[in-house]
Structure 1
Amino acid sequence: MQDESVQSLRERISEFLAERLEAKLSGLKDSDPKRATKEQELRQKFQREAWIADAAHRVSQLQVTTHPAKATHPDSKATSLYKPPCELPDHSLVGSHVLGEEFPTDVVGNAAALDVFKFLKLEHDGRTILARALGGETELARAFSDDVDKGKEWVRSFAAVTEPSGSIKADPRLKQLYWLTEEEPTRDGDFHLLAPLYSTILSHRIHAAISHTRFSEESKLARKAYWNGEYSECEHREYPHLAAQKFGGSKPQNISQLNSERGGNNYLLGSLPPNWRSAEVRPLLHTDSALRAFGRRSTVRQTLRELERFLMANPRPNQETRQRRDALVAALVDELLVFAATLQEVEPGWSADPACELPEEEALWLDPERATADPEFAQRRESLDWVSEVSERFAAWLNQRLQKSLPVGDAEHAHWDAQLQRESAALEEALAHA
């Protein structure tokens, strides 16, 4: 029975290597005079023992992880950690410990060695190569090679993929924030960890569940039935105030493999206190810019007048002047946040009204909950760079208001835009994560 199991495992490995070999061979050109030589080299390279020996050497370029350090900060030099859910303490809060035995594996390291990671994820009889290697299975060693000692050496090499190379390192960029909850700051137990190390496996599970709820066909049918007041066999769920945090920018692979599979998107659930909903708040209809309504607010007009008077006084070009000017612009940004938050509390879907003439980027910004019932709107909100468009419109609006009494132009516009990026990080967070 054991020999049959070893043989079956070998066949599974051979199937994996045959698929990869076929993909490599299909890339060879018939017109290449060296095709026969290259084909022979590939076939030798993908022989079972030859490929596994090479993979066992290259696996040192990777680290399987559950908590990648670069997800907290892309410039972090800290060590990523591998901590399966079963090894974590059990408690009442939701964390990666709730995932149990079934959890996705992530990897960091050299992208050129990711074929080794795919090999480690290969399943046979319900268990992956990685799980077998971590268990030190002799059966796996025998499947690798007729020389059991050589096979065991390769098993140990693959099992080491969860261990960091060298000593474990920390980094100030990890932002581990501890809050003193008791009286004695010299006692570790009197602190509560507010920012635990990022769990890629928990984030991936959350992303998969929410994406299924938002975009699967059965969820679309359930959502349609809900809005029409009809019965549906499928469960209907909503995630109000959902945020999407991007990791890695245009290169999500630099963070981790699972982050790359999500396109860098990581969902954050709303954790806001109840908001007061004023009866006077109305959808922005019959206007082509939300900034028109924003500019009519009394506090905005007052701040604009103060900024205008200050600049017209021709203050001395020193640090104090710059700080005063930037503080007034920051006050306008704060007002814009309040304005946006108020409109985001209006009944979702108001921007779909034919009377809504707002440009698309402003509709995507101010009516975020429409995404729960409108999949196309949700996809546009995730794919379009409407954050930059809204920020640009705000900078242009401020320049236009000041042009009435001041000779402002492209240089001033560039400065407002630069200050928005520097001083109003909260604005970008609100725009991207509303």
Structure 2
Amino acid sequence: MAKEEKEVTSLHEYIIENAAKKRKTPAKWFDAMVMHMNECHLASHVGKFTNPDIKTTVCSHSKKVAGYVTTGGSTCSLDILTPAQYLGSASLLLSPVTPDKNVLEAVITRDKELEKELELLSLSIEKLQKKVQEMLEDSQKEPEATDTHLRQVYFPIAEGEYHLLSVMPSSCLALEMYQRIRAINGHKIDCYNKKSENYGKPCEEVTGLTMIGFGGTKPQNISALNSRCGGKAYLLSSLPPALREVKVRVPRSDFFKESIWYKSQSSALYRLHAYMKQERNTMEIRKAIHDLVDEMIDAVLLVAYQIRAGAAGWSEEETYTALPRSQKIWLDDACMEERLEPSWTGEIAAAFARWVVFSYEKLLGEEAVSLGDAEWRNFKDQMEIVLKDEVRYES
């Protein structure tokens, strides 16, 4: 399988390196690559990814439409189809000029950085612009017919009327996803590598992947982007989530001490600590703290709703006589009528605020910042607003 192309720091270095491999001057190599660009065909959807015998391609120019995911509304490079002997021309078009633009995109947008790179080697941009324009005009032509190897879908448009659609994969999206996943997983490896400057930094990982290959030992016969990715692409997992039953402990004397484990909110509490240590008191920091408290409120309410889902009247049993009346009203659906009066919300909100302060100090220990009455009252008020909103909603 073809190896992925080595990254070159700049376009002019890429031209010099490839010209040297062919034992040509940069000018002669560049002119040859531009001359053969009439053998390149731009595409967003390539039939060869379904079957190597399919020659049908489509270049989608659809714009971003609100509420819909379209190829044209996505950020990815167009694919290029070309015979293997002219792959150098396609590779030149896909070579980066800036971090977010390749040669093809730079020509289309008239990026001045491309002119600067070519001027370093005394290369003219006019012929390149003309060839790209010809490619764009040619790619806008729609296929006159579909291919028998492609799947056909009858799509209804009115009573007794339909369109016959051909299903084609978007190669540019598939290969863009492959490159992004590699970047995400590569960053994760760096974060675990003690020799890397990213060691210890936060990272993400895309799991449950299946790798699929196109073109076998000759990925260049499928498309230029496929060749650059070594003929590899990823399929994301489409399996349903594996859910496990979470048992909730019904409180006997205090919901916050018995049903909510403080370490379950360690992530939010550590982030809260990071903001509490700040000497500044900006609007941005206050909003971040507000969002973290909202996150903990959501976690508390989730457990409360799970307890409510049990049989109504459970709190009337002798086992739960020590449970405060406000918590019985909040957690037991047998008390739904009493719950419509907001008098109980203040006591629950105060208990929540005490739980946040306790959990923070328990988790951080000596490192904890002292939380005073002002912080406690903010936590209480924030929870009480949520509880009163719930009362209004149920009313």
Q: Sort the TM-score into its range (normalised by shorter chain).
A: 0.3 to 0.5
Q: TM-score, normalised by structure 2?
A: 0.45
Comparing both structures, which one devotes a greater share of its residues to helix? 1
Please say which structure displays the higher CA radius of gyration.
Answer: 2
